[in-house]
């Protein structure tokens, strides 16, 4: 493949996922803006996020497992159409009526749910196992910065102006997809089997640790935020979030290269062990400011590792081309459900003592490591051996040159 063709392929991969993930952020920011105008905030928040995320889950499963002979190009181009329709509806009829908001959120969730399995499958199909981690890391790194930009814009613009910008984004995405030559294949005629994925031991060995992290993060997030605000103030939680976000951004890029060089499993094990230590630390020293700085640093490090590896990389490694939609659909769902679960359980878990909560979390994070010991390394062993051999040869050359200079 020529350099021009290679860079063209990289740009297509970037555009497909960058536009899709940013649309999700537009939808989530719109939910936040709608909630600012509501009075019964707690009930409405659960309702709105519930509609959006349940719609996302339903259409993710439907897209991945029920469409027969469905071309990935069509799947990628379908989500902006729904995004445009939902944005136009909210612009025309307004968010004051709760049913209008629910209608918008249902179709906004549907658009992302349809797009995500096809977008990630397209990414998995057009990357090799040797570079999938790096490509995913670069895409998510720039997407994360765009999340911040969208969040800032949502605070500055009115709801109507923000919706216009959201509509422009969806329309621009559709135009890009219509003009780009998306290199992809059609799914085979047979339906992708859910049973075959759940019955894949390799998938289960990686999925169990991933889902444990997502649910622990969802449960502990509300307790963490409540405890820190009560005892250290809102400024301190802002500091922790800044540290965590900065570390995550840095880790995203590093992780992509590490998992492509050393393998996925080894890096994941390190991530779970260090995060378990961080939770144990704040469990026994929750009143120490230093322990919270350590936790924020390690948590940012772990999030960077887990998102790049689990969302972008590992399911593409495990799945054949005609089943990538199914693997990515099931594998990515826990990540997209974290926010909703956190909001759903927040009112009921704040009475749990913080020391018990974090000790509980650290225990289950350590348990999450055990399936990884049985999981196969998805990076080919011959590739790892070749890299080790090159490393040994380079070291031997350096030693020989060092002694040659001395003599």
Which residue do the tokens 């991969």 mark?
13
How far CA 324 is from CA of 54, 115, 317, 336, in Å, comes to: 22, 13, 9, 18
Q: How many CB atoms lie within 10 A of CB 94?
A: 13
Q: How many CB atoms lie within 10 A of CB 357?
A: 23
Among candidates 347, 265, 350, 269, which has minimal Cα distance to 314? Answer: 265
Q: How many CB atoms lie within 10 A of CB 188?
A: 13
Q: How many CB atoms lie within 10 A of CB 232?
A: 15
Structural domains in the chain plus CATH codes: 11-185 (1.20.1250.20), 194-379 (1.20.1250.20)
> What six digits make up the tokens of 359?
């000790």
> What six digits make up the tokens of 118?
């096809």
Packing angle of the helix pair 132-156, 98-125 (nearest 10 deg): 160
Residue 7's contacts (CB-CB under 8 Å, 6 or more residues apart) are: none
pLDDT at 189: 47
pLDDT at 303: 87
Model pTM score: 0.86
d(C-alpha 363, C-alpha 370), whole Å: 12
Q: Residues in the chain with pLDDT < 50?
A: 69, 189
Q: What region does 26 belong to: left with phi over 0, alpha with psi -120 to 50, or beta? A: alpha
Phi and psi for 375 in degrees, rounded to 5?
-75, 140
Task: Convert the pLDDT of each residue in 170-227 to its tens digit.
Answer: 999 999 888 877 765 555 545 557 788 888 899 999 999 999 888 888 777 778 877 8
């Amino acid at each position: 493949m020529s350099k021009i063709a290679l860079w063209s392929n990289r740009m297509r991969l970037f555009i497909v996922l960058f536009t899709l993930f940013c649309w999700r952020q537009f939808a989530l920011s719109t939910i936040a803006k709608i909630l600012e105008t509501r009075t019964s905030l707690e009930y409405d928040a659960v309702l709105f996020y519930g509609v959006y995320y349940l719609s996302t889950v339903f259409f993710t499963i439907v897209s991945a497992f029920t469409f027969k002979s469905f071309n990935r190009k069509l799947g990628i181009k379908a989500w902006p159409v729904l995004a445009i329709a939902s944005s136009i509806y909210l612009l025309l009829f307004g968010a004051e009526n709760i049913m209008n908001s629910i209608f918008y959120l249902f179709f906004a969730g549907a658009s992302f749910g349809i797009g995500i399995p096809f977008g990630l499958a397209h990414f998995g199909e057009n990357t090799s196992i040797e570079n999938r981690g790096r490509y995913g890391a670069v895409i998510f790194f720039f997407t994360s910065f765009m999340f911040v930009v969208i969040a800032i814009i949502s605070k500055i613009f009115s709801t109507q102006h923000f919706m216009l910008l959201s509509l422009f984004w969806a329309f621009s995405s559709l135009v890009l997809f219509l003009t780009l030559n998306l290199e992809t294949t059609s799914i085979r005629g047979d339906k992708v089997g859910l049973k075959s994925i759940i019955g894949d031991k390799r998938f289960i060995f990686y999925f169990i640790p991933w889902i444990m992290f997502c649910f622990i993060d969802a449960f502990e997030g509300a307790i963490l935020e409540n405890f820190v605000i009560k005892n250290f103030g809102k400024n301190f939680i802002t500091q922790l979030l800044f540290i965590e976000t900065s570390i995550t951004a840095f880790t995203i890029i590093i992780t992509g290269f590490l998992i492509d060089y050393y393998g996925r499993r080894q890096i994941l094990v390190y991530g779970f062990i260090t995060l378990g230590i961080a939770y144990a630390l704040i469990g026994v020293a929750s009143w120490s400011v230093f322990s919270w700085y350590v936790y924020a640093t390690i948590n940012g490090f772990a999030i960077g590792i887990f998102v790049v590896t689990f969302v972008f990389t590992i399911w593409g490694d495990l799945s054949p081309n005609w089943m990538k939609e199914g693997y990515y659909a099931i594998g990515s769902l826990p990540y997209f459900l974290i926010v909703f679960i956190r909001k759903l359980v927040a009112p009921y878990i704040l009475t749990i003592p913080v020391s018990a909560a974090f000790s509980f979390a650290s225990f289950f994070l350590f348990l999450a490591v055990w399936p990884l010991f049985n999981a196969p390394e998805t990076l080919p062993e011959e590739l790892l051996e070749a890299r080790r051999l090159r490393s040994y040869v380079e070291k031997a050359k350096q030693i020989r040159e060092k002694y040659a200079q001395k003599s």
